[in-house]
Structures are given as structure tokens and as C-alpha cells.
């Protein structure tokens, strides 16, 4: 199985797991004397099978990513970790830059004037790097 196929299967399996989870929650409680629309035992069994399949796919994907060289001396796993860290930092800097735009806040009937602790220009330049 190719990596792209495994990634598509992983997304489909995750979606199927979430659907089963929701169906299980919908059938967890019924009015006294009524029966659930679907058997919770069957849904639980199917959800567990889907979770096992999901785990197997993730392990295969991770093994492939660890063995695949992305660039000289770097694996695909290394590149993914760097991407996730850059996204994490970028989101924090964007939020901080946006927060520094606000110069006044209403607190009840009072207006509080705020001063910039750090300049927007400094953070925007970090986002560009």
C-alpha cells in the first residue's frame, strides 16, 4: 500500500470511528420500555474493530515516514515535526500580533487604554522568516 492510500484510509477510518461513536451515544439511553434503534453491543464491537484498524494504519504510516528520507539526513517524520512546530509558533505569533492591535477595551462604563508591550512590526517580521 502506498503512503497516499494509507493516509486516505486513515482519514476514512477516523471518520467512520467518529460516526460509530455518535451512533453509540445516540443509542446509549432510551426511554424506559423502549429498545434502542441499533444494538449498542454491535456498535461497540464495530467501533473497537475500527479503532484497531485505525491503530494499524497509523503504525504503518509512521514506519513509512520514519524510513523515508525527505532531504539529506532528514526523514519525513523529521520534516513533519518541523512543520507542526512552525505552525504552532506561527499561530502563537499571529494571535499575539492580532492582540496587540487592540488599543482600548470597554470594561463596563469605563474605557481602558492599552499600550503595546511588543510592537506588531517585530512579530510580523518573525512570521515572514
Look at residue 120 in the predicted model and tell me its pLDDT. Answer: 57
Look at residue 32 in the predicted model and tell me its pLDDT. Answer: 85
Cβ atoms 97, 120 nearer than 8 A: yes
List pLDDT tens digits, range 69-82. Answer: 888 889 999 999 99
pLDDT category of residue 90 using cuts at 50, 70 and 90: confident
List pLDDT tens digits, range 100-126. Answer: 655 555 566 666 555 555 555 665 565
Nearest to 64 by CA among 75, 51, 72: 75
The structure's pTM equals 0.66
Instruction: Give, in order, the Cα–Cα distances in Å from 20 to each of 23, 40, 58, 85, 96.
Output: 5, 10, 19, 32, 39
Amino acid at each position: 500500500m502506498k503512503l497516499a492510500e494509507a493516509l486516505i484510509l486513515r482519514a476514512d477510518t477516523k471518520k467512520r470511528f467518529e460516526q460509530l461513536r455518535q451512533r453509540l451515544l445516540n443509542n446509549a439511553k432510551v426511554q424506559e420500555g423502549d429498545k434502542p434503534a441499533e444494538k449498542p453491543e454491535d456498535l461497540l464491537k464495530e467501533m473497537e474493530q475500527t479503532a484497531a484498524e485505525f491503530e494499524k494504519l497509523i503504525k504503518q504510516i509512521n514506519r513509512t515516514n520514519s524510513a523515508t528520507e525527505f532531504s539529506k539526513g532528514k526523514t519525513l517524520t523529521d520534516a513533519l515535526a518541523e512543520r507542526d512546530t512552525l505552525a504552532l509558533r506561527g499561530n502563537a505569533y499571529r494571535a499575539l500580533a492580532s492582540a496587540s492591535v487592540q488599543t482600548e477595551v470597554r470594561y463596563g462604563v469605563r474605557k481602558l487604554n492599552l499600550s503595546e508591550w511588543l510592537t506588531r512590526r517585530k512579530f510580523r517580521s518573525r512570521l515572514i522568516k
